[in-house]
Amino acid sequence: MQELEYNFLKMKKKLNLGVVKKKVRIDENKKHNPELITIKEKSEINNNDIISKGTGIDKSTVSLHFAGKRPINVEQAYRYSHFFEVPIQRILDDNIPKYRIVGYLDQATGRVQEADKFQNIEIVICENDLIQYDDLAILSKEADMLFWFRPSINSDNVAVTPEEKYPLGRYCYVEVEQKHEKLALIGDIRKLEKNQVTVFNRHSLKEEQYKLIKAYPINTIDFMEFSDILRTESIL
């Protein structure tokens, strides 16, 4: 059991899983953990005492999990995945939202490289109250930071030009074109005239003009080291 505790702490460090605890609203009418219950049934391990001892999870909690009456959290999912020898993302309860990483930020240039849509898909799992189910994430691997934006809120339907109370403009994920090349970057919108946009790049400390395709305001930035976020590979 001590080894399991130690391995979980190592996993948290490796996968940037913080220790923030959040209250989860439990829907009494919903049956939770269907995939975990299926895994247990296929394993032919029906004794909750054995599962409790093998995972270190209290027996009464184990009983509630396998009765579908209480959702599991990320730490419990790790313990079950270790016990049943299955990938953790298979058994995470669906009350914990999963978000797709759609791009990777280069800290040196501020440019964003689009993520592969079909292979090596990465997701992040978190219970952050500021994140909505339709949000998408851009990851900076060097800085261990996530930049969140909402596709439905963009320059087609919201103002992205600077306002008086925001002299530096909105901080955005910006899709642009420059010299017939399509680019993506994160920066401050300094000026917007028709379809021409001036973006200040906080990483290169340069201000450049582009042809605007679309801009998405960054709504949240997470430092993964200090958050309750798990990054892993999966297919949504």
- Of 53, 71, 91, the position where a domain reaches its end is 91
**Is residue 49 predicted with pLDDT exceeding 90?**
yes
pLDDT, residue 44, reads: 84
Mean pLDDT for the chain overall: 77
- Of 91, 111, 131, the position where a domain reaches its end is 91
DSSP for the chain, written as a single string: -HHHHHHHHHHHHHTT-----------TTSPP-HHHHHHHHHHT---HHHHHHHHT--HHHHHHHHTTSS---HHHHHHHHHHHT--HHHH--TTS-EEEEEEEE-TTT-BEEEPPSSSS-EEEE---TT--TT-EEEEETTTTEEEEE-TTSSTTTS--S--TT-TT--EEEEEEEETTEEEEEEEEEEEEETTEEEEEETTTTEEEEEEEEEEEEEEEEEEGGGS--EEEE---
pLDDT, residue 20, reads: 33
Q: Do 115 and 57 fall into the same domain?
A: no
Q: Do 113 and 226 fall into the same domain?
A: yes
**Identity of the highest mean pLDDT range in 155-159, 160-164, 181-185, 232-236:** 181-185
Number of domains in the chain: 2
Instruction: Check which CATH number belongs to the domain holding 14 and give it.
Output: 1.10.260.40
Q: Do 87 and 121 fall into the same domain?
A: no
Q: Do 61 and 79 fall into the same domain?
A: yes
**Is residue 79 predicted with pLDDT exceeding 60?**
yes
Q: Which domain holds residue 27?
A: 2-91
Flag whether the pTM goes above 0.75: no
Q: Do 64 and 151 fall into the same domain?
A: no
- Of 62, 91, 120, the position where a domain reaches its end is 91
